[in-house]
Structure 1
Amino acid sequence: MARTPLVSERIGQFFMGEDRLEYTEFGSGDRWVVLIHGQLMVRRMCQPLARALAAEGNHVITLDLLGHGRSDRPDDPMVYSIPAFGEQVLALLDHLGVDTAIVGGVSLGANVALEVADAAPERVQGLLVEMPVLDNAVEAAVGAYGPMMLAARHLPLSVRAVRAVTRPVPRGLVPFWAGIGLDICDQRPGSMAAILHGIVFGRLAPPSSRRRALDVPTMVVGHRSDPIHPAADAAMLAAEVPGAQFVQARSILEWRLTPERLDGLAADFVARCWQTRSGSAANRA
């Protein structure tokens, strides 16, 4: 088993209006990377990659989006959407005084990263996205998340029961990814229904015409045998974004259980993004 890199870690928070959002910093320096979790997940799922990238000299931030993890969880569906999550990432950069960063994420986080690049391309040094949810995934996503939304709205006791059973389990006593699974079960019916409503009935991602206009270095990771995150969506995005790098994962579990290959590719991509910026700055001088 690979040894976990030892890097400094600090927890911080900021506010958007009355809403509090929490994040973790890994490492230090001015090579910034922001990593965003998946839907109904928590920032801790990004911890292994964050530590690996920080060990390579990067300053990595993981964020709990509104309604997730240790950030506030309002019950109003109007506050949840992919564009709104993108605004939260930009507010995080403002809070930290960061001009540009590499923005990455998995599933929901991948779509949020695309929104950030679409809304403020001058602030995105690169995109590192795994399992984007685009045109080929719409039917499967609605089929999976629609019943969850209805259960949270009309059968709230079911959500509370799952939370009551899983919340007391000490995360330190179970394997890391089992703990992430327990974290996913730690939902509140009102905010869960609101999140799913806001996402299912909102803009899923920038349209294809906007994705084709993106002018940032991009690495897209996809894998087979996952209907909600079909490889066709990842391959399509890689074909749309000029010069994007497409990486085929062996399975959805590779980056979870045997991450060395993909961690190395991600670290190389991040290094190239910052080298490109340094080279451009030198040329301007």
Structure 2
Amino acid sequence: MKNIYITDLDHTFLRSDLSLSDYTKKIWNSYASDAVLSIATARTYKKTVQFLQGITVNAPMILLDGALIATMDKQIIDTKFVTKDVGDAIIDEGAKLGIYPFVLSLLDKGLNEAFSYATKLNKYQSEIIKRYTNDDHTQAYKNLRTMKNNFKIVYMGEETLLRELEKNLKAVFKEDLKYILAPEAYMGCFFLTILHKDADKSHGIASVSEAVGFDLKKLTVFGDNFNDIGMFALANISVAVANAQDEVKQCANIVLKHTNDEDGVAKYLENLKKEINDAKT
């Protein structure tokens, strides 16, 4: 049975400028014929496909923190949605603290996405929106509401404020939702992601395993942040890049010497292939 390699994108596989080096592409693609290769990311389908130009992915991808499992050719394997009623109630809780989220929703089975946000933005959100000026799926609303099928609701801001919001949301929804509070390294702030209770990378790996039929004992995963810890616990080998959060490193079987900007994942895979080849000779 083939080995399986699943990597996070941001701060793990992608460089900090959101690029992939030719070296990383070459090494990763060299595994394509002998291994199952996939991605586990908080990113949307659209953005993930853009970033992975020239990269082989031969298994369903874990997208939006596990809220969507889909193939490169847009076959939907699984979805975990936050309902409209719950989503609107989440927005109302945030409004009590004067903060409003980004809402990522599914528009149709063609994986067309909606990125909704309030006209009232903080400085971190305003900076993010600048990066989406040419995207046709973003829309600002004076009275922000969610849609029928919502992948996730994301707040950005200062840690103290988001911890207060998380506490308030847990008091209302308890364990009916999943809450991920983590640092946002690109912006120097924190983000609070709210998802369906079963939307995470570990559940995503289970869905991919069912779809492809692989053995978890053959699974190696790569990551850097708190939303990767679940799949670290599930995998046979978990690998943290050198720039990973300290708590993530503590959960990993292997901590690399190289960062995402130093092609850490590719260097690990290249050395692994050399060790396998040396063992055969």
Q: Which has the higher contact order (CA 8 A, sep 6+)?
A: 2
TM-score range, shorter chain: 0.3 to 0.5
Give the TM-score normalised by structure 1. 0.34
More helix by share: 1
Give the TM-score normalised by structure 2. 0.34
